[in-house]
């Protein structure tokens, strides 16, 4: 499903969407798909997958830390 369709669905149902975020590779690349599956099973509507960057200055401290760990 497209993101725009998910937002339309939320609007039609008059509810907010739950969006989860994970950084790929944190704590390991093997666990990333398992974490994504757990988010879906937990009810998130959208998953934002962060791609680690060597200089994540635009992100807050939590995401900066996860980028450095991955």
Q: What is the pLDDT of residues 1-51, one digit of tens each?
A: 899 999 999 999 999 999 999 999 999 999 999 999 999 999 999 999 999
Domain carrying residue 40 = 17-69
What's the number of CA atoms in the CB half-sphere (13 Å) around residue 4? 0
CB 35 within 8 A of CB 7: no
**Annotated catalytic residue, options 12, 30, 41, 59:** 59
Whether residue 1 lies inside any domain: the answer is no
Domain count, the chain: 1
Q: pTM for this one?
A: 0.83
Active site residue 59: yes
CB 2 within 8 A of CB 13: no
Active site residue 9: no
Whether residue 51 lies inside any domain: the answer is yes
């Amino acid at each position: 499903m497209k993101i725009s369709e998910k937002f339309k669905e939320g609007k039609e149902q008059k509810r907010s969407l739950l969006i989860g975020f994970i950084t790929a590779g944190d704590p390991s690349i093997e666990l990333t798909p398992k974490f994504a599956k757990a988010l879906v099973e937990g009810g998130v509507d959208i998953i934002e997958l962060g791609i680690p960057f060597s200089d994540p200055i635009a992100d807050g401290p939590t995401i900066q830390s996860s980028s450095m760990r991955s």
